[in-house]
Amino acid sequence: MEGQQRRVRRIPGGTTVGIEQGCMSERWASEVAPEDGTVTVTPPADATPGTSVDIPVKVTYPDGSSEETPVKVTVDTPDSGNHDPGYEEGHTKPNVPVEVPQTKDPNVPPGTTFEIPPAGIPEGWTAEVDPDDGTVTVTPPADATPGTSVDIPVKVTYPDGSSEETPVKVTVDTPDSGNHDPGYEEGHTKPNVPVEVPQTKDPNVPPGTTFEIPPAGIPEGWTAEVDPDNGTVTVTPPADATPGTT
């Protein structure tokens, strides 16, 4: 494992052990606890997985006799080489947050953590990641141009200390206002007689769309109300309205 120590317990108490100077491979480190024979070996951080070394340990018995016995240590593939976390592309609209879960590798080991390097967040955007499950929440700016895509790097750190980066791609979709065109046919009525004018130009406005009439938009002497859910407008002209007035 990358830069990880591996302990191999060899000899019980009652003897002394040591490692001959100069017997170690370059950049490997080792030490032995003389009281119980525990050998601690640390490979270099860039050690190739599959590499093995045999470390000769000199064992000296209480009667003065001695022998050498090897400790074999093999470098395993780090967690970063056994896992492949990643994300589906996220889609959202300007100033609307979107959650993008980490779904590519559901079997990352317990203790894996996720973080977003601050330098990886584009100006005007916000991005956060759940450090435990990797879910990323991204919000584009209110003035983001539809079609804009960004790749936000997520650093994944495994329990063995190895790490890697995987990107989250988020694309800004066209807002609902650019995909719909509600409107009304002309309404006709008589003085002081209310008329209902339904919204008929776009019957496919999405659920949750709301309608309202700004108070400043109602002419003096007229009344107007709108159904906030379906957009039907009810208008009443004043009793003295001149025929032909619009």
* Token pair in block for residue 47: 């050690």
In sequence order, what are the residues at sequence separation of 6 or more whose Cβ sits closer than 8 angstroms to the Cβ of residue 211?
199, 226, 227, 228, 229, 230, 231
What dotted CATH number matches 80-176?
2.60.40.10
| Overall average pLDDT of the 23-27 stretch | 70
pLDDT digits (tens, 9 = 90+) for 168-227: 999 999 988 888 999 999 999 999 999 999 999 999 999 999 999 999 999 999 999 999
| Overall average pLDDT of the 64-85 stretch | 89
| Overall average pLDDT of the 154-179 stretch | 94
Q: Which of 81, 67, 74 is nearest to 41 (CA)?
A: 74
**Is the pLDDT reported for residue 3 higher than 50?**
no
C-alpha distances (whole Å) from 215 to each of 218, 223, 228, 231 are 6, 10, 14, 16
What's domain 6-74's architecture?
Sandwich (2.60)
Percent of the chain with pLDDT over 70: 93
Residue ranges, comma separated, of all CATH 2.60.40.10 domains in the chain are: 80-176
In this structure, are residues 104 and 87 in contact, taking their beta carbons and an 8 Å threshold?
yes
**pLDDT at residue 2, as a whole number:** 44
